[in-house]
Amino acid sequence: MTRYLFRRVLILLPVWLAVYTLTFTLYHVTPGGPWDREKPVPPQAIAQLNQKYGLDKPLWQQYLDYLAGVFTRFDFGPSYSRQSRNVSEIIADLFPVSARIGMLAMLLAVGLGIPLGVLAASHHHSIADRASMLIAVFGVSVPSFVVGPILIWIFALSLAWLPPSGIDTWRHHLLPALTLSLFPMALLARATRASLLEVLAADYVRTARSKGLREALVIRRHALRNALIPVVTIGGILLAEVLVGSFYVETVFAIPGIGRYFVTSVTSRDYPVLMGVTLLMTTVVALVNLVVDLTYAYLDPRIRYG
Amino acid sequence: MYRSSAGVRRGSLLFIGLVVGLLAGAGALPAVAAQTGPAAAGTLVRQAAVQEVRLPGVEPPTLDPGLAEDLAAVEVIKQLFDGLVELDASGNPTGAGAASWTISSDGLTYTFTLRNGATWSDGRPVTAQDYAWAWKRNVSPATASPYANAFFPIKNGQAINDGELDPEQLGVQATDDRTLVVTLERPASYFLSLATTWTLFPLRQDIVEGYGDRWTEAANIVSNGPFTLREWQHDTRIVLERNERYWGPKPAIARATYTLFPEDGAEQMLAAYEAGEIDTTGAGVGSSLPASQLDRIVADPVLSQQLKNFKQSGTYFFIVNHRRPHFQDVRVRKAIGMALNRRELLDDVVKQAGDPASGIQPEGILGRQPAAWPKEDTATARQLMTDAGYPNGEGFPEITLTFATSATTRLVAEYTQQRLKDVLGITVKLESMENAVFLRWRRGAEWERSGDLYRASWFSDYEDPENWYNHVWDSESDPGVYNAGWQNAEFDRLVRQAQLETDTARRTALYVQADQAMAADYPHIPLWHDEIRSLVKPYLKGYVPARVLGVTPLRAMSVDPR
Amino acid sequence: MAESASLPPLARTARGAGGGGNPAGPWRMAWRQLSRDKLALFGLAVLAILLLAAAFAEVVAPYSPTQQNVALARRGPSAAYWLGTDELGRDMLSRLIYGARVSLSVAIVAQVVILLIGVPVGAAAGYFGGWVDTLLSRTVDVLYSFPDLLLIIIVVTSMRAALKAESGGVLAALASLDAALAGMLGIFLSLALVSWLTVARLVRGQVLSLKERELVEAARAIGATHGRIIARHLLPNVLPAIVVAATLGIPRVILIEAALSFIGIGVQPPTPSWGAMILAGSNAARGGNPHLILGPAGALALTVLACNIVGDALLEAFDPWMRRAGRIGR
């Protein structure tokens, strides 16, 4: 087991390198640079800025310089669009905000979504089933940049129960987390329902039923565990996504998070931030994958890693 | 290899729990710390003793006056720092950091006497050396200031920035602690206006060199203006406090809090305003009221009373590529400009405040002659196209209107496309580009070769005709600005002469002629002069954002106690 | 527990137990079952109407989607304009119908490509395990944490630049294809390239779980090739998850297209797309013009609903075939 874990962590290094190289290449192939502004910047100033930040050096040198900085000093570079800050600080400030909201959203999604799916599957073709399908359709088809403003309208402006934007107190976390949770909730509900339906029709489940066990027990003890495997897959993907923040939720609620920052680093070609956040996302995804794979092992004892 | 499945399960569970716990912990700890936030939203109790104003803002890329180029940065910098002079309400320079000055008869030497009692926020007096050092540092190519060209009128400024001379050679000298002598390269009567811009603000050498890139953080920064930087929580808020050591009249506002929103955050700012969290929707970056809400606001009995309009020194226009054969004829360009209905575009389509523009230079820029520019007139427009050889648009090639996408610009483009088709019969293709791609494209060979029109804007850095006629429209500056390829020998001659002219009356007359020459040649298509429409709470007094860059006049504002 | 709308379990089992190796069997059985499910027919009908409307937009739409009438901007539904008008006075209904073309084609093409890449990769990773799994999984990880946005920008921008350059041969053919697709070729490609990873993961997870079952051991024992095992025994059991992912992936792609409009690389104006219309109307409700959002959001929701209904019905209809495939040892 420990050998397996160790191997999984070790393999992160070539993954990081691959992501770094791919991102570096893609960034330098994409047109547009970090210094252009709506108000034209004199070409001379652009040349000077390139020199100041070492962007006039040959590409292979920039590639290696950055790696050297990371490995020797944990220096991920300065931000091109925030001139008094460096990337590590920015990530250290913004990531916990996104992670907090992401975790809260995931808790909501799992806590409401999976039971909804179980309910629908165990009452297949009933009103409850149809209703759950409608709820899921809503969650999946109405995007966060539409739901968010509506929730703000209701809870922050009309009722004045919650603040409309910002992240200062626990109250500020509720609406963003709720908005962010809708899509995962719907997805998890659908996936649980589909998977559980399939499992419930299986022979061994009918065997359990014919033994006279109560339906609920049948579901809990025999069916659910197997049904959850694909749900865990989807849950893992969703978790990795919400942890690194949603650009739309963070924009609509004016939250200083990494999701929003990442998109602006792409559109403003802020290369060090882009790279730093990408590497962070790689790490988050790898960790979440590990958790998911181990959860498979927990759910299905026949799966082994050695 | 066989492993006990129970062991695997227990081990997995443990590990899962550990990772989840770590992630949650990374999130939870800051959450605990964040419980101490500022006062809850919606409380409107104002104490007469402490006047506090809450404004919307956008995270500034920097607060270093030498590196700033952005509205968000300038907004805060102008509260924190004082320059040598500032412009009063009528646009005349009055002393700020400088108590008085003299100009030599040939207009080449300015001698500033600094104000007694002007100090930095840490108590040290502001000296002439602070100005001299700041200017030399900002013009140096190593600093890579985007506004280094502000120093080009000063002796050796351009050569230093080109890397040919050492920054010490700059034509500025501190002859003693309170006397600053500036030697210009050539006469420049706009120099005092230039001195109001932030690149010419003083800096503290020990602070800037001591803290390096971090000198602008709240813990380190030292400034000389009416407000100090109390707190800068990045991407969240900026808090300014009144500088009790300031030499000038004490501002009524003791504390100003900028809540930071994303760029294009007009909807969020409006929601915060309606929830009572900010006192105005502001006049800076992304502050104009969202089009989707305007009708509702105007119909609302309370909100409609809080609507204010603020004129700004800026214009939106379409840049025409003069290298394209079909745009060589001035009649074509005029026809396009005269075919648009700007009032309809502003009021009905984009629902933005704005003053339909016949000419390019906005109000406040000397020399502007709006009457000389052609008026909107669809009949004449059609006639002009026919005269140019394209009756009903026949024979006129398909042109492309390029823009960096935004909700408003998309509507402007779609409107223009349809309008030009309806009125002139010409076909316009729309091309929206990602922002960074667009900004690079308009500097490059592809625009020069095959581009037709792109949407652009210019906002005054200082309200002087030089900032428009010379800085932007002189054909020599053009490649580094809009790259339109427009060249008019008469216009160039007039504005270059005006740039060197020291007599105000003669200078104005020259710029008037230049504007008339420009109007006759109609190089680009003016759209509208910028105005900001904003909501302002009735208890916020004196909120009239500056025409230049919408800067908040904090020192003149006050809050009505309730 | 089951209502009369679907067949009772016993009947399903009986059919399944009947076995029979006729490959056309499951499809005919599926259709027969589908045609009895009223709800499924409703879903199919909705999808059919949407696709037909999109295909024959010129005939179906009451107005041109680009004809502006600024004097009538932002009006609510009326007799002349059933779903109201937008910011430039264009008819919302017509724009929705033409927008269906763009949005549906993007979604469908992208999903097909996604499945074509994602399923084989995921199945291979889950089935073969070992270094194959490591290689494929880590590649997926690398691509997954990769900034999609950057990839999309570069693909779309380069494609536009290359096609504009007007060189002959392949590029010219692609250029006319792109023009026919309203400039969407780059978007199809880039969306598919960044979205197949989820399906791959899903399939891998399912296959991992399934391959340990006795049926696979048995099949191997009698000499079935890997390919046959994957195709006939494993994939059918993976199908439910894939169907769910695909039906829900369709609206996802439409919304990504909206997101791309946000930064300027969606469909070129004035061509309408549901995503761009949703984005433009996202705050319209509070502003007093709810029709600006209800139309496009409603259209999307209806499409999602129909996809879900049909997806569910397909799952049920294929059930006997799937269970036969996985019958041994379950």
- What pLDDT, on the 0 to 100 scale, is given for residue A213? 66
Mean pLDDT across A166-171: 92
pLDDT (tens digit per residue) in A248-269? 899 999 999 999 999 899 889 9
Amino acid identity at B126: V
Mean pLDDT across B210-216: 94
User: Which residues in chain C are closer than 8 Å to A226, comparing Cβ atoms?
Assistant: 209
Mean pLDDT across B439-457: 94
Nearest residue in chain A measured CA to CA from C138? A15
Residue with the bigger pLDDT between C138 and B291: it is: B291
- What pLDDT, on the 0 to 100 scale, is given for residue C26? 57
SS3 content of chain C, % helix, strand, coil (to 5): 75, 0, 25
User: Which residues in chain A are closer than 8 Å to B481, comparing Cβ atoms?
Assistant: 40
Distance from CA of C263 to the nearest CA of B (A): 6
User: Which residues in chain C are closer than 8 Å to B440, comparing Cβ atoms?
Assistant: none
Q: Are B515 and B508 in contact (CB under 8 A)?
A: no
Q: Is CATH 1.10.3720.10 the right assignment for the domain spanning C38-68+81-322?
A: yes
Q: Are B363 and B551 in contact (CB under 8 A)?
A: no
CA distance A219 to B71: 61
CA distance B453 to B484: 9
Interface contact A133, partner C, CB < 8 A: yes
CA distance B423 to B336: 9
Interface contact C75, partner B, CB < 8 A: no
Of B343, B353, B350, B346, which Cα lies nearest the Cα of B375?
B343
Nearest residue in chain B measured CA to CA from C288? B296
Mean pLDDT across C317-326: 57
E strand map for B136-236: 172-176, 179-183, 227-233
User: Which residues in chain A are closer than 8 Å to C209, comparing Cβ atoms?
Assistant: 226, 229, 296, 300, 302-303
Grade residue A222 by pLDDT with cuts at 50, 70 and 90: low
CA distance B127 to A116: 71
pLDDT (tens digit per residue) in B379-430? 999 999 999 999 999 999 999 999 998 888 999 999 999 999 999 999 999 9
CB–CB of C73 and B348 under 8 A? Answer: yes
Of B522, B479, B517, which Cα lies nearest the Cα of B496?
B517
Residue B161, pLDDT > 50, answer yes
User: Which residues in chain B are closer than 8 Å to A165, comparing Cβ atoms?
Assistant: 259, 261, 268, 271-272, 277
Q: Are strands B453-459 and B307-320 parallel, antiparallel or unpaired?
A: antiparallel
Least confident of B98-107, B131-140, B197-206, B431-440: B431-440
Question: CA gyration radius for chain A?
Answer: 24
Interface contact C269, partner B, CB < 8 A: yes
- What pLDDT, on the 0 to 100 scale, is given for residue B500? 93
Q: Are B326 and B399 in contact (CB under 8 A)?
A: yes
Interface contact B372, partner C, CB < 8 A: no
pLDDT (tens digit per residue) in A224-244? 777 888 888 889 889 988 998
- What pLDDT, on the 0 to 100 scale, is given for residue C129? 80
User: Which residues in chain A are closer than 8 Å to C141, comparing Cβ atoms?
Assistant: 15, 282, 285-286, 289
pLDDT (tens digit per residue) in A119-139? 888 888 888 888 888 888 888
Question: CA gyration radius for chain B?
Answer: 27
CB–CB of B348 and C263 under 8 A? Answer: no
Tell me which residue in B349, B430, B432 faces C73 most closely, judged by beta carbons.
B349
- What pLDDT, on the 0 to 100 scale, is given for residue A10? 87
Residue B22, pLDDT > 60, answer no
Nearest residue in chain C measured CA to CA from A158? C286
- What pLDDT, on the 0 to 100 scale, is given for residue C15? 36
- What pLDDT, on the 0 to 100 scale, is given for residue B487? 95
Residue with the bigger pLDDT between C314 and A24: it is: A24
User: Which residues in chain B are closer than 8 Å to A39, comparing Cβ atoms?
Assistant: 69, 457-459
Least confident of A24-28, A94-98, B558-562: B558-562
Highest mean pLDDT among B343-347, C130-134, C194-198, C269-273: B343-347
Residues 6+ apart with CB under 8 A from C283: A149, B267, B290, B292, B293
CA distance A128 to A116: 9
ipTM for the whole complex: 0.91
CB contacts under 8 A, B 93-152 vs A, are: 141-149
User: In which order are the strands placed within the sheet that holds B399-404?
Assistant: B354-356, B525-535, B307-320, B453-459, B399-404, B428-433
Distance from CA of B62 to the nearest CA of A (A): 6
Interface partners of chain A (CB pairs < 8 Å, 3 or more) are B, C
Residue with the bigger pLDDT between C218 and B525: it is: B525
Residue environment code for B125-163, b if the CB has 16+ CB neighbours within 10 A, otherwise e:
ebbbbbbbbbbbbbbbbebbbbbbbbbbbbbbbbbbbee
Q: Taking CB atoms and an 8 Å cut-off, how many pairs form between chains B and C?
A: 77
Interface contact B421, partner C, CB < 8 A: no
- What pLDDT, on the 0 to 100 scale, is given for residue C13? 35
Of B459, B486, B478, which Cα lies nearest the Cα of B549?
B459
Of C146, C269, C250, C265, which Cα lies nearest the Cα of C199?
C250
CA distance B483 to A36: 14
CB–CB of C153 and B434 under 8 A? Answer: yes
Tell me which residue in A164, A169, A260 faces B37 most closely, judged by beta carbons.
A169
Residue A95, pLDDT > 80, answer yes
In a mutagenesis test of the C interface, which of A17, A146, A248 is the best target, namely the one with the most C β-carbons within 10 Å?
A146
Q: What is the DSSP string of C262-293?
A: HHT-SSPTTS--HHHHHHHTTTTTTTT-THHH
CA distance B534 to B545: 10
Interface contact C165, partner B, CB < 8 A: no
- What pLDDT, on the 0 to 100 scale, is given for residue B523? 97
CA distance B87 to B101: 15
Least confident of A192-201, B455-464, B551-560: A192-201
Highest mean pLDDT among B97-101, C35-39, C40-44: B97-101
- What pLDDT, on the 0 to 100 scale, is given for residue C307? 84
Q: Are B53 and B540 in contact (CB under 8 A)?
A: yes
Residue B44, pLDDT > 70, answer no
Grade residue B35 by pLDDT with cuts at 50, 70 and 90: very low
CB–CB of B434 and C263 under 8 A? Answer: yes
CA distance B89 to B71: 20
- The enclosing H or E element of A204 equals helix A203-210
Residue B34, pLDDT > 90, answer no
Residue C159, pLDDT > 90, answer no
- The enclosing H or E element of C314 equals helix C291-325
Least confident of A97-111, A112-126, B111-125, C51-65: A112-126
Distance from CA of A243 to the nearest CA of B (A): 9
Q: Please measure the distance between the N-terminal and C-terminal CA atoms of chain B and give it in whole angstroms.
A: 78
Pull the structure tokens for residue B328.
């060589």
DSSP B539: T
CB–CB of A141 and C209 under 8 A? Answer: no
CA distance B226 to B7: 68
CA B446 to chain centre: 27
* 3-state DSSP assignment of residue B85: strand
* 3-state DSSP assignment of residue A176: helix
Grade residue C327 by pLDDT with cuts at 50, 70 and 90: very low
Pull the structure tokens for residue B466.
């030089």
Q: Is the dihedral of CA A37, A38, A41, A46 positive or negative?
A: positive
Least confident of B219-233, B293-307, B453-467, C211-225: C211-225
CB–CB of C287 and B437 under 8 A? Answer: no
Interface contact B493, partner C, CB < 8 A: no
Residue C23, pLDDT > 50, answer no
Q: Are strands B237-242 and B227-233 parallel, antiparallel or unpaired?
A: antiparallel
Residue whose tokens read 């998911």: A292
Residue whose tokens read 């999309």: C152
- What pLDDT, on the 0 to 100 scale, is given for residue C6? 34
CA distance A11 to C139: 11
Amino acid identity at B309: N
- What pLDDT, on the 0 to 100 scale, is given for residue C319? 64
- What pLDDT, on the 0 to 100 scale, is given for residue C20? 41
Mean pLDDT across B169-192: 95
Distance from CA of C166 to the nearest CA of B (A): 12
Grade residue B49 by pLDDT with cuts at 50, 70 and 90: low
Residue C330, pLDDT > 60, answer no
- What pLDDT, on the 0 to 100 scale, is given for residue A204? 67
CB–CB of C141 and A282 under 8 A? Answer: yes
Interface contact B69, partner A, CB < 8 A: yes
Distance from CA of B100 to the nearest CA of C (A): 50
- What pLDDT, on the 0 to 100 scale, is given for residue B310? 94
User: Which residues in chain B are closer than 8 Å to A172, comparing Cβ atoms?
Assistant: 37
- What pLDDT, on the 0 to 100 scale, is given for residue B48? 47
Distance from CA of A202 to the nearest CA of B (A): 24
CB–CB of A83 and B62 under 8 A? Answer: yes
CB–CB of A165 and B149 under 8 A? Answer: no
CB–CB of C269 and B432 under 8 A? Answer: yes
Amino acid identity at B481: V
Nearest residue in chain A measured CA to CA from C292? A146
CA distance C244 to B186: 74
Mean pLDDT across B544-548: 93
- What pLDDT, on the 0 to 100 scale, is given for residue A216? 66
Nearest residue in chain A measured CA to CA from B13? A298
CB–CB of A19 and C145 under 8 A? Answer: yes
Pull the structure tokens for residue B128.
């002439």
Q: Are C203 and C164 in contact (CB under 8 A)?
A: no
Interface contact C289, partner B, CB < 8 A: yes
Residue B160, pLDDT > 70, answer yes
Q: Mean pLDDT across chain A, nearest whole number?
A: 88
CB contacts under 8 A, B 220-259 vs A, are: 234-236, 259
CB–CB of A95 and B141 under 8 A? Answer: no
pLDDT (tens digit per residue) in B249-296? 999 999 999 999 998 889 999 999 999 999 999 987 766 899 999 999
Interface contact B24, partner A, CB < 8 A: yes
Residue environment code for B77-102, b if the CB has 16+ CB neighbours within 10 A, otherwise e:
bbbbbbbbbbbeeeeebebbbbbebe
Mean pLDDT across B164-174: 96
Interface contact C263, partner B, CB < 8 A: yes
CA distance B182 to B166: 17
DSSP B97: S
DSSP A154: I
Q: Mean pLDDT across chain B, nearest whole number?
A: 90
pLDDT (tens digit per residue) in C299-310? 988 888 888 788
DSSP B546: -
Residue C4, pLDDT > 50, answer no
